[in-house]
A and B are shown apart, each in its own frame.
Chain A
Amino acid sequence: GENVEQHPSTLSVQEGDSAVIKCTYSDSASNYFPWYKQELGKRPQLIIDIRSNVGEKKDQRIAVTLNKTAKHFSLHITETQPEDSAVYFCAASPIQGAQKLVFGQGTRLTINP
Chain B
Amino acid sequence: NAGVTQTPKFRVLKTGQSMTLLCAQDMNHEYMYWYRQDPGMGLRLIHYSVGEGTTAKGEVPDGYNVSRLKKQNFLLGLESAAPSQTSVYFCASTSRLAGYNEQFFGPGTRLTVL
Contact of B41 with A by CB under 8 A: yes
Contact of A105 with B by CB under 8 A: yes
The interface size of chain A toward B, counting residues with CB under 8 Å, comes to: 24
- In angstroms, Cα B56 to Cα A93, docked, is 16
Give 1 or 0 for each of B56-78: 1 = CB within 8 Å of chain A CB. Answer: 10110000000000000000000
Given A98-B31, A98-B56, A100-B48, answer yes or no on A45-B42 (Cβ-Cβ < 8 Å).
no
B101 close to A89 (CB less than 8 A): no
- In angstroms, Cα B43 to Cα A100, docked, is 12
Output the nearest chain B residue to A9 by Cβ-Cβ distance: B40
B103 close to A43 (CB less than 8 A): no
The interface size of chain B toward A, counting residues with CB under 8 Å, comes to: 22
Contact of A44 with B by CB under 8 A: yes
Residues in B whose Cβ lies below 8 Å from that of A32: 101
Would you list 8 pairs from A and B whose C-beta atoms are within 8 A, ordered by A residue? A9-B40, A34-B102, A42-B107, A44-B105, A46-B102, A89-B42, A98-B31, A99-B31
User: Beyond A9-B40, A95-B101, A101-B43: 20 further Cβ-contacts under 8 Å?
Assistant: A1-B59, A32-B101, A43-B90, A43-B105, A43-B107, A44-B90, A44-B105, A45-B105, A89-B42, A89-B43, A99-B31, A99-B94, A100-B33, A100-B58, A101-B33, A101-B45, A101-B103, A102-B59, A105-B42, A106-B40
Chain A interface residues (CB < 8 Å from chain B): 1, 4, 6, 9, 32, 34, 42-46, 49, 89, 93, 95, 98-106
Lowest 6 CB-CB distances: which A-B pairs, in order? A103-B42, A43-B105, A103-B43, A105-B42, A46-B102, A44-B105
